[in-house]
Chains A and B, each alone.
Chain A
Amino acid sequence: MRAGLTVAHARALLTNGEAVIMPQQPERDQAALKTLARWALRFSPIVATDPPDGLRLDVAGCERLFGGERRLLNLIADAVERLGFRTRVAMTPTFAGAWAVTRFGAARRTIVCEGDHRRVLADLPVAALRIEQDVVEALGEVGIQRIGHLLGLPRSSLPARFGHELLTRLDEAVGRAPETIDPVRPVSPVMVERVFSGPVTQLEAIELTVRELVAELSGILERRECGACRVELRVDRFDAGPLSETLTLSRPSRDAKHLWSLLRPRVESINLGWGVERLCLAAPHLGRLPHEDQTWGWADESTDHRKLDHSFGELLDTLGNRLGQERVVRAEPVASHLPERWGQTPLPAAGNGVCPPFSADRPSLLLERPEPVEVIAMTPEGPPSWFRWRGLDQRVTASAGPERLAMEWWRGSSPATRDYFKVQDEHGRWLWIYRILESGRWFVHGVWA
Chain B
Amino acid sequence: MKAKQLAQLREAIAAIEHGGRDQSGSRASASDADTLPLPPGVHEWFGLDDKSCTSRTSRWIPPLGILLYLARRSLEGNQAGVVWIGRRCWPFLQGLAPDDRGVLLRQSIFIDPPDVMSRLWAIDLAARCPAVAAVVADGSRLNMAATRRLQLAAEAGSALVLCARPPGEIDHLSAATTRWRVRCASSADKIPRWNVELLRCKGMRPEGQWTVEWRSAQAKNKGSIVVHAALADRPDPAAPAGGALVRRSA
Contact = CB atoms under 8 A, between A and B. Distances in A.
B21 to A, nearest CB: 32
Given A424-B187, A424-B190, 20 more contacts: A308-B79, A315-B125, A315-B132, A316-B109, A328-B110, A329-B111, A331-B93, A342-B93, A342-B94, A344-B110, A368-B87, A392-B52, A398-B190, A422-B190, A427-B50, A427-B52, A428-B185, A428-B186, A448-B65, A448-B192
A363 interface: yes
A119 interface: no
Give chain A's interface secondary structure class: mixed
Interface of B: 47-48, 50-52, 54, 59, 61-65, 68, 79-81, 83, 87, 91-95, 98, 101-102, 105-106, 108-114, 118, 121-122, 125-126, 129-132, 184-187, 190, 192-193, 214, 216, 233-234
3 interchain residue pairs of minimum CB distance = A362-B95, A428-B186, A312-B131
Contacts of B110: 328-331, 344
A429 B105 contact: no
Contact of A365 (B64, B79, B109): B64
Contacts, number: 149
A417 interface: no
17 contacts: A308-B130, A312-B132, A328-B110, A328-B111, A329-B111, A339-B94, A361-B95, A361-B216, A362-B94, A362-B233, A365-B91, A368-B87, A392-B54, A424-B192, A427-B184, A428-B193, A448-B214
B20 to A, nearest CB: 32
A308 B185 contact: no
Interface of A: 305, 307-309, 311-312, 314-316, 318-319, 322-323, 327-333, 339, 342, 344, 347, 351, 355-356, 358-366, 368, 390-392, 394, 397-398, 400, 422, 424-430, 446-449
Contact of A364 (B68, B114, B190): B68
B183 to A, nearest CB: 8
Contacts of A323: 111-114, 118, 122
A449 B48 contact: yes
Contacts of B125: 315, 318-319
Q: Which of B65, B91, B95, B122 has most A Cβ within 10 Å?
A: B95
A384 to B, nearest CB: 15
Contacts of B101: 333, 355
B96 to A, nearest CB: 8
Contacts of B112: 323, 327-329
Contact of B52 (A305, A330, A351, A425): A425
A364 B131 contact: no
Contacts of B83: 315
Q: Chain B CB within 10 Å — which of A339, A391, A430 has the most?
A: A430
